[in-house]
Amino acid sequence: MKTSNLIMLLAGAVLLQSCSQSSENYRSMNSESSDTALVAADSVSFNQAKLVKTADIGFKVKNVSQTCEKVSALAAQYRGMVTHHQMISESYGSREVNLGNDSLMKVSCFNTRADMTLKLPTEKLEEFMNKVSHMSLYVTMRRMDIEDKSFDYLTSQLRLNSRNELVKQQKSGRITLKDPMDVLVFKDELANEQVQKRRIDDAVKSSVITLDFYESNTVVKEIIANDDPTAYNIPFHSRFGLAIDNGLQVFVSMLILLTNLWAFMLAGLGVWLVIHLYKKKQPVVVVSK
């Protein structure tokens, strides 16, 4: 009985020692991972803060079309590019004045405005804004926002470092990903962090500015053809000559018609003479009062 108890105690001691060693190894791996993360965090350094600049300007100009050309040329001069450009002319009233039977003068009122989005080197942003402001008659709105993306960049860098460390451990055989879906998810996350870092770097390097400008309402006069068919007529002298000719043709037609009816006319004349002679032969009765 004592021997059995002793064996059980020894087995329990061995099991406890094994669990303790496993726990120690687990803590050692966690400690190593933590040390790696800390080293990665310490290795992340910035030459400059990750500041993202955006700007907006609203202003009035003399000519919207010419200003669009000047802004595009100025952006090219600063090694920038136009990413969006839209110009709209809206008519808010028109009137048509008759100039003759075949032409009209159309008077229209237009409101013209444009909006542009440009991407420029960040160090040239304020200089570009000043030059654009000088193109205007006056500025209605000017704004610049600066957003600090340093911590977002640091987060992406740390995540990228931890995933790179995982790749090294997988290559050395310390970690094995058996499920193919886990491998795909891991690769997607690694790619996302790389893209996020590049997106922040691009936003820091190149700033986005939005321009919204307009001009005074314009009045446009244009001569257009009259599209009403009923308004088209020939000149008066031509219509007068045609009227005489038409009247002569009607007279000739009536004369020809009467000529075609000569037999009926002759018969009618005969009937009239008979009636007239008959009435003439009848005695006249005088009634005395």
Residue 177: per-residue pLDDT: 64
**CB-based contacts of 179, cutoff 8 Å, min separation 6:** none
Q: How far apart are CA 218 and CA 61, in angstroms?
A: 13
150, exposed or middle or buried, with CB in 10 Å at 0-12, 13-18, 19+? middle
Q: Where are the domains of the chain?
A: 52-147+207-225
Residue 271: per-residue pLDDT: 83
**Averaged pLDDT, groups of 10, the chain, 289 residues long:** 50 50 41 44 58 95 95 94 94 83 85 95 94 94 91 80 73 66 71 83 91 94 80 73 86 84 80 78 58
Residue 287: per-residue pLDDT: 54
Residue 83: per-residue pLDDT: 95
Residue 31: per-residue pLDDT: 41
pTM of the model: 0.58
Q: How far apart are CA 12 and CA 209, in angstroms?
A: 73
Q: How far apart are CA 289 and CA 285, in angstroms?
A: 13
Residue 253: per-residue pLDDT: 87
Residue 111: per-residue pLDDT: 93
Residue 104: per-residue pLDDT: 85
Q: How far apart are CA 215 and CA 114, in angstroms?
A: 9
Q: How far apart are CA 198 and CA 152, in angstroms?
A: 12
**Contact status, residue 138 vs residue 60, Cβ threshold 8 Å:** yes
